[in-house]
Structure formats: structure tokens, C-alpha cells
Chain A
Amino acid sequence: MSIINYASREIQFKIVYYGPALCGKTTNLSYIHQRINPLNRGDLVSLATATERTLFFDFLPLNAVVIKGFVTKFQLYTVPGQVIYNATRQLVLRSVDGIVFVADSQWEKMEENVESFKNLSDNLALQNMALDEVPCVLEYNKRDLPNIAPANYMEYVLNNRKKRLQSFEVISSTGQNVFATLNAVSQILLHKFSKLSQTPQRESLPVAIPVEPSAPETQRLPA
């Protein structure tokens, strides 16, 4: 967590996009960078290989006025998804304030999603943090592909816990629900520091696999 500089009245928050390799973390940041007013953002910095695979991290600074009397800076990072780069993921997670877990909706990626989510939990534990304490939302990405698991199945696989996370069905390549996801994690982490600690996260019943592919907790894509 950062320190508030009361002289400049600035607050910085660090949001990390986490998830398995090729799930679309960088695509999320690219879309946000393309769409947001240039006055409210800095450069998108990508430390990637020649084949555009993230090697260290991507970084996008955003400015917003959301807390009365303060300039709020959100610093968006991605981690490298490839399994071998775990040490790098641990570095990027340092001092994290909020997390967007990006899951690949394709059936064949489900095992990688689960492994990556467990890896996130393990890496937070190394920093003496627990997933329940960090503002976190789930993003089910690539909903436009043909071979995807239903959202309720992904809820069962990734969100089956007492305190369920908000989840969003996203197509990061076209930008659908990319901003909704970012806004959700931003609001959760802002309210974490409010005097009432009113976080929008909810208690809910354990997930069962419904027959119908519908999940009321999930933000549906427009038809």
C-alpha cells in the first residue's frame, strides 16, 4: 500500500491483472489505454518479448478524481502468465491494493485457470496477505469464442467460496465489460478505506452447478 502525500494530496493504488498465459491481461490494458482520455492516463509500458509475450509486466498509470479533495492515481499492472515466471509475479504483486483475476473461458484452459488462481493465493500468502483481504474481482474473458464453458461452470470452478467475488463476462478484444471490471475493483478498494468499510462484496451461498447457463451474480453481456 502506498503512503498518502498530504502536501500534493495524491493517493496511489496498485491494481494487478493476474491470470494464466494468453488469457488477455495485456489486451485489457491495451483497450483501456486506447479508450481512456489521454489527459487522464500515462503511457502504456510493456516489457515484452519480441513475440509480444509479457516478460516482466505491463504498466498503465491512470488518474481519476473520485475522493473529495484528493487526486487518485490508479496504477495498472499485468503479470507474465507463463508458469516459469513465478518469481516475477511475486515481484509485481508486491504492495498490491486490488486484483483482477482474468480467466480464459475456453474449456481447455480451465485447468490453467485453476492453477493460476491457486498460484495467486500462494503468492499473496508469501506477502502475508489472504485473498479475502484484498479487493478482487473475477473476469471471465473471451466470451466470444465458440468453445467456452458456461459462466455458471466458471463460477463453480473459480468462485465457489463463502464470500464470493464479483465476476464479469468479458470480451477484452472488443472491450465489452472491460471498464465494468475495472470500475468494480476500483470501487471495492476505495470503499475498503472508507470509515464504514462498506465493500460491495457479498456473502452468498455455495455455488452448485445449475442446469441453465445463467448466474445472477455475473454481469451478463448485452445481447
Chain B
Amino acid sequence: MNAIPVLTIEDVATLDGVLGDFLKKTESDLTVVIDRGGNAISQCGDRDVMDVTVIAALAAGSFAATRELARRIGEVEFNALYHQGNGNHIFMNSVDDETIMITVFGSRTTVGLVRFYSTATAQNVAAVLKLLRRTSHGLSFDAKDISAAPVFVDPP
């Protein structure tokens, strides 16, 4: 039987606390913790104005793509990446081998402040996820809870 790792409501509350504190200190708009495959694990901030799913997929790709660039200069990977826009910017930093943290911020703050607080935040997030991976038993479903109907329908 295969099982999917689970973030319990308590885990989510802990992560939300860590990420909420980070957003408040840095005055950023949104922060998302994603796995390196592009799946969002936890998020905090103004999620309505941005498509977090797409941001997560593209950020994971962007982070992975620069890994080869890092290797060319003798690094395993870049620990952090910064994409500067005219008004809005993205800062990404590595949390652990499996996870990345993305922060979207505007002109109310600076990349220096985001970078400064992101280091400690990443360590706190990593600690929560490490505990989760060690203790989580995972979730599997009853076969009867899975719909037998086609998942997606091509309309006539």
C-alpha cells in the first residue's frame, strides 16, 4: 500500500505561524513553500491576486534550471535566486534538498530585508518538514472514496 505524506492541521498552523511572521517582518505580499517538483506545500499572504499553482511550477523550473549554471562555477547549486521586476519581484531560497521557499514582494520592502529574514525562516520551515518526514505515517484512501466516474469529461 502506498501512502501520501500528510501535513496535519497542527503542522499547517506551525508553518503558517512561521511564514506569517516572515511576511510581517519583511512586508512581502506572498510566500509559498514548494517541493522541487513544483507542488505547493504551504502558502501565506495575498494568494487571490496570483495563480500560486503556476508560480510554484515555474519557480521550481527556474530554480532547477540554474543548478547547471551553478555547477559550471563549481557550486552544487545557487542557494538563492532573485528576479527583479519594475514594481514586483521574486526571491527564492533553498529550504532543504526537497524544498524551496518563494517570496513575492513589491516596493514597500527591499530584497536585502527579504534575504535577511529568509535564512532564519527557511531553517524553521526545514525543521518542521524534517519532523514531518520522520514521523508522518501518510494517508491512503478507501477505494470506495475514489469516484469510479471518469475524472475529466470531454463535453460533446
Contacts and interface: CB of A to CB of B under 8 A. Distances in A.
A42 to B, nearest CB: 6
Contacts of A179: 150, 152-154
A150 interface: no
Most buried by A among B13, B37, B41, B140: B37
B143 A191 contact: yes
A11 B139 CA distance: 11
A183 B146 contact: no
Nearest to B5: A3
Contact of B2 (A36, A94, A197): A197
Interface in A1-15: 1-8, 11-12, 14
Contact of B41 (A3, A37, A42, A64): A3
Given A43-B54, A59-B54, A179-B154, A67 B4 contact: no
Contacts of A178: 154
Interface string B22-63: 000000000000011111111000000001011001101100
A4 B154 contact: no
A68 B8 CA distance: 18
A36 B132 CA distance: 36
Interface residues of A, number: 57
B42 to A, nearest CB: 7
A75 interface: yes
Interface string B60-96: 1100110010000000000000000000000000000
A195 B41 contact: no
A65 B152 CA distance: 10
Given A66-B147, A191-B143, A197-B2, A95 B53 contact: no
A115 to B, nearest CB: 23
Interface in B99-156: 132, 139-143, 145-147, 150-155
Interface of A: 1-8, 11-12, 14, 32, 35-37, 42-43, 45, 47, 56-57, 59, 61-62, 64-69, 73-75, 77, 87-88, 91-92, 94-96, 175, 178-179, 182-183, 186-187, 190-198
Interface of B: 1-9, 11-13, 35-42, 51, 53-54, 57-58, 60-61, 64-65, 68, 132, 139-143, 145-147, 150-155
